[in-house]
Copies of this chain bind each other. A is one copy, B any other.
Amino acid sequence: MDTPLREPTFLILTALAREPMHGYAIIGEVAALSDGRLSLRPGTLYGALDRLTDAGLVELDREETVDGRLRRYYRLSPTGDATLAAETERLRRNVEAATARLRARSVQPLAPRTAGGLA
């Protein structure tokens, strides 16, 4: 898993970091995590869970049946935990780099050539 995680995958792992959850609950948790910016579609969620399970980042925790409806709980594996931590660090560095660049530009938007200061 050298490839960087995309946002939906990253937030799914984040949602599972605290405690095991079932798929449908993850949709709501990710929406909350992202302040409603990202609403996961079933295709994205279950596809991602299958991929993450195959990759060994999440594991099936348990299955419950509540009111006749199946709930399949997933949990973060140790590998998934480490991956999420590493990904978070990677993002943190990217954020820092971009912030520094944006600030640098803000300080000196354009070289003051046309304003006719001296010369």
Contact = CB atoms under 8 A, between A and B. Distances in A.
Interface stretch (A39-47, A61-69, A97-105): A97-105
A118 to B, nearest CB: 22
Interface residues of A, number: 33
Given A17-B98, A105-B81, A91 B91 contact: yes
Interface string A1-34: 0001011001101110110000000000000011
Contact of A85 (B14, B93, B97, B102): B102
A94 interface: yes
Interface of A: 4, 6-7, 10-11, 13-15, 17-18, 33-35, 37, 76, 81, 84-85, 87-88, 90-95, 97-99, 101-102, 104-105
